[in-house]
Amino acid sequence: MIRFISLASGSSGNCYYIGDEFASVLIDAGLGPRSIKKRLAEYSIPIDSIDLILVTHDHSDHVRHLKAIVERYNKPFISTGPILKSLSTHPATRGIKNGFIKEIEKEVAFTFKGVNITAFEVFHDATETLGYHIDFKGEKFTFVTDIGRMTQKVIDFCKLSHNLIIESNYDCTMLEKGGYPLMLINRIKGGRGHLSSRSL
């Protein structure tokens, strides 16, 4: 049985699971190893069963614990060249063991254990930000979290899928009247920030 589990979502950390008894991936590693292990155990999933980690972008709430998980559990992670280059100097991931890294190209499928994974670009204010289309043995997922605006490319990948994971994480009125600094408001509302709850 294929399962999708949101282990953590928000500014304090992001981490997601897609898998079955034969293959499984984590998407991002903003949650600590102990917390991931504990939350997976609630579903009777051992953390050792994870095959690899997909990285969407280099913001800390998505990669804060990547190094610890990769090195403690001997797990590979994949992303595009610009993101991997950024992670090599990122405070949270600097010095991560090179042997665990695999570089992929956008819109070129990467296959393992019968699972096809295609990364594609989305608009967000990181070095580069990826969505993922995951064809899990015929069950298709499109995964897009931090995104400032919908594009035709994102829509096209969504149309290919049975399951959509899209983050729209703020209310426009609450953001504008909540006493937040103007710079933060403009960042969130800008085309490289986040989607509002009205966007979908």
Instruction: Give the SS3 label for residue 146.
Output: coil
**Pairwise pLDDT comparison (101 vs 172), residue with the higher score:** 101
137-146 pLDDT per residue, tens: 999 999 998 8
Nearest to 132 by CA among 164, 162, 102: 164
Q: Are 170 and 197 in contact (CB under 8 A)?
A: yes
Alpha-carbon distance of 115 to 20, in angstroms, equals: 11
**Pairwise pLDDT comparison (116 vs 177), residue with the higher score:** 116
Query: Out of 3.40.50.150, 3.60.15.10, 3.40.50.920, 3.60.90.10, which CATH number does the structure's domain 3-166 have?
Result: 3.60.15.10
Domain ranges of the chain: 3-166, 170-200
pLDDT confidence of residue 119? 97
Reported pTM: 0.90
Share of the chain above pLDDT 90, in %: 67
Bridge partners, 119 (sequence order): 132
Q: What is the band of 103 on the pLDDT scale with cuts at 50, 70, 90?
A: very high
